Structure 1
Amino acid sequence: MYTLLPINKYFLRLFKNKFLNKKVIFAGDFKDKIPIYLNTLMSFVNTHNYDYYIWLKKQMNNNVYYGLMNNKYKKYNFNILIFFWLKNKKESLFILNNILSFLSLKVEIFIIGSNNSGVKKINNIQELEIINLKKIINARKHIIFHGILTKNIFFNINHYWNYYYYDNYPIYSLPGIFSGNKIDNGSKLLISTIINSNFLIKGKILDLGCGSGIISTIINSNLEKYNIKYSIYATDIDIKAIYSTKKTLNRNFIKNIKVFPSNIYSDIKEKFNFIISNPPIHKNVNFSLKFIYKMISKFRKNTYYKGELLFVINNFISYKKIFNNFSLKFSILSKNKKFSVYRIKNI
């Protein structure tokens, strides 16, 4: 399922047997087999990707953690951190500082980043001066920096929250979560379409790819006005989205929504009357429709008869590109210059 990136193959050739007596922790933006192949005294992985976590747990048992780590991991006494830089600098620093906060002084740190990730300017980041990073390798369209931790880091998640208000509801998000500073136009159209349409969504509702939790929050608040039964489930693959949605719901005093990680439908055990989504169309910075194809291909298995899938897509993506692979009838509920809201029924 996961292979080795060229830069990680290169890293293995250089360092395969140099960490035999070291306890190594891996973190950041990577999803491949390097923690399995690198010879160490102990390898441990921190990931924010649920799909990678589930796969890696089968390979490494308990030596993998999904989410933010805390001081209880000090007892592992890691000697080496291998961190994979993300294209979002704030997200990189959020994850990196979380890991650094429980590492001891003089721990060796390797930071690996692609040439287009912004890692070239890492020495301009003032808060990382305590690592004294130096470039040691430039190969395979990547750069590798090496440094030593010289000062203890204090990590507090409250220093990283972004929030804005939408219809008087505070919406919270952590670095790396889509549309963290204001509502995006796609979600805005999807929400207004659902709230102002002639039909009323009800029953069991799944918010697929919940992000900041804005869709669940607004739909829940709207449905509270009606004397109908409903329940909302919110899922995402990214742990930062899970934290963000829970924070948003908590700040809006909403307690009746179930929030949990899932790779699209991987951890969905029930069927729904409505599945609602503003699906991602990028994987890192690369254009990708994989999420949409998987969401559509399996929506019938995850909805009741006459259940519906409602999702919003940017208009630069032709409906033919989306639906040509499926023998499904669809309709467009609403449309503006940039986005369209599609509707598919399970009939």
Structure 2
Amino acid sequence: MDPRSEVVLRQKDYLKGNVLFIHAPSDNLISTLDQSVQSSIWTWNYADHQAQVKQGYTSFFGTSFPQEAYDQVVIFVPKSKELLNYVLYEVASHLPQGAQIFLVGEKKGGVERAAKQLKDYGQTKKLDSARHCQFWQTTLEKTVPHKPLTDWLQKYDVVNDHISLSIYSLPGVFSQNHLDVGTGVLLPYLEQVKSGTLADFGCGAGIISCYLAKLNPSNIVYALDVDAFALASTKITFERNNIPTHQLHTHAVTGIEDAPCDLDAIVSNPPFHQGIHTNYAASEGLCQQAKLHLNANGELWIVANRFLNYSILIEQYVGKCTVKADQQGFKVLYANNAKF
């Protein structure tokens, strides 16, 4: 069991009534609680959502607070301070005054900083500290009016050769307020990507997806991500750059195994973090399984930190790997799905 869940269980007597667990890990916490607690989960992580549904839990996947009535919420602290601001505001716009809000997180994950954010909504106290985690409680002293999701967007512009894009990104999305270095290294090479039906694996705010769509109006782009906020950001970025809606298909995925097949190309700046922890499963899975989703002569394009030696996996599972660029600490890797 996740250590944060273990700390919640240590204080389970505080939980009463209809309780919403926000951003909870996919473990057996819910099944371990007393039957007097009616539990459900709100998560923006599709992999966690799928795992929770499989266990029989009531799980809501998306960017918005579920349309249900709750007595209490337990927030598992997200990595992003901005995302926690959004979550706390959503909670305060849906719960009645006097409702209980609990916060749990790892010390190295910023739980003490998060507790300071919680204090904006009521008097806050620490209930427990164990397993390198902390558990906090507050009574909601003020409610706030609902704000639309678009009020939380950050915008920045990306200009590369003859293509200019305005990027719109929601809290918690990778590289929310600036173009990250890896994607910046990759962009000049996107003109070499085979046209047709393409996938952007780990789409984030939609920079690569939009660029591919702008390059050729006949391109159809599948934007794939585990994060509901990333998928929503990509949709908004497409809309506000006036790209035809038929060019974009957004799909929540647990990994590359959920991608469509017969793709002409997969392009990715793959993630290698899950929360505050390093996790190479998604990116390594991409290298190992991309071939299954590419058509004959389909292409794989990856940009990754120089120290991540994905070329070995690509050579083993896809085809000959070519280093198209090696600069600013990043490599652009290319392979073709032709028989070898």
TM-score by length of 1: 0.88
Aligned length: 330
Task: Go from structure 1 to structure 2 and tell me whether the alpha carbon gap of 1:113 and 1:180 turns closer, same or farther (over 3 Å shift).
Answer: same
Q: Hey, what does 1:259 align to over in structure 2?
A: 250
- Give the 3-state SS of the residue equivalent to 1:151 in structure 2: coil
Work out the CA distance in 2 between the residues paired with 1:176 and 1:141.
23
Q: Hey, what does 2:2 align to over in structure 1?
A: 5
Q: Hey, what does 2:100 align to over in structure 1?
A: 108
Alpha-carbon contact 2:26-2:51 (below 8 Å) kept: no
- Give the 3-state SS of the residue equivalent to 2:168 in structure 1: strand
Query: Does residue 92 of structure 1 match 2:84?
Result: yes
Match of 1:32 among 19, 27, 42: 27
Deviations along 1:19-49, one digit per CA (max 9) or x if unpaired, are 4x51111003533221222124311100010
List aligned pairs for 1:146-157, cutoff 5 A.
146-156=137-147, 157=149
Query: Does residue 69 of structure 1 match 2:60?
Result: no
- Give the 3-state SS of the residue equivalent to 1:176 in structure 2: coil
Query: Does residue 52 of structure 1 match 2:48?
Result: yes
- Give the 3-state SS of the residue equivalent to 2:17 in structure 1: strand
Work out the CA distance in 2 between the residues paired with 1:110 and 1:164.
34
Task: Go from structure 1 to structure 2 and tell me whether the alpha carbon gap of 1:90 and 1:29 turns closer, same or farther (over 3 Å shift).
Answer: farther
Alpha-carbon contact 1:264-1:291 (below 8 Å) kept: yes
Match of 1:336 among 303, 308, 327: 327
Task: Go from structure 1 to structure 2 and tell me whether the alpha carbon gap of 1:71 and 1:121 turns closer, same or farther (over 3 Å shift).
Answer: closer
CA drift of 1:327 comes to 7.6
Q: Hey, what does 2:180 align to over in structure 1?
A: 184
Query: Does residue 158 of structure 1 match 2:155?
Result: no
Task: Go from structure 1 to structure 2 and tell me whether the alpha carbon gap of 1:321 and 1:65 turns closer, same or farther (over 3 Å shift).
Answer: same
- Give the 3-state SS of the residue equivalent to 1:116 in structure 2: helix
Q: Hey, what does 1:281 align to over in structure 2?
A: 272
- In structure 1, list runs of 5 or more residues that go unmatched: none
Work out the CA distance in 2 between the residues paired with 1:326 and 1:285.
29
- Give the 3-state SS of the residue equivalent to 1:60 in structure 2: coil
Moved more, 168-177 or 324-333: 324-333
User: Over aligned residue pairs, what C-alpha RMSD do you find?
Assistant: 2.2
- Give the 3-state SS of the residue equivalent to 1:181 in structure 2: coil
Moved more, 157-166 or 323-332: 323-332
CA drift of 1:175 comes to 1.2
Deviations along 1:49-106, one digit per CA (max 9) or x if unpaired, are 0011112123335x21101335732xx2x11211111232111121232233211121
Alpha-carbon contact 1:106-1:150 (below 8 Å) kept: yes
Task: Go from structure 1 to structure 2 and tell me whether the alpha carbon gap of 1:118 and 1:321 turns closer, same or farther (over 3 Å shift).
Answer: farther
Task: Go from structure 1 to structure 2 and tell me whether the alpha carbon gap of 1:117 and 1:321 turns closer, same or farther (over 3 Å shift).
Answer: farther
Alpha-carbon contact 2:25-2:48 (below 8 Å) kept: no
CA drift of 1:345 comes to 1.6
- In structure 2, list runs of 5 or more residues that go unmatched: none
Deviations along 1:222-249, one digit per CA (max 9) or x if unpaired, are 113xxxx431111100000011000100
Query: Does residue 209 of structure 1 match 2:202?
Result: yes
Query: Does residue 132 of structure 1 match 2:127?
Result: no
Alpha-carbon contact 1:282-1:288 (below 8 Å) kept: yes
Alpha-carbon contact 2:115-2:136 (below 8 Å) kept: no
Alpha-carbon contact 1:333-1:341 (below 8 Å) kept: yes
- Give the 3-state SS of the residue equivalent to 1:291 in structure 2: helix
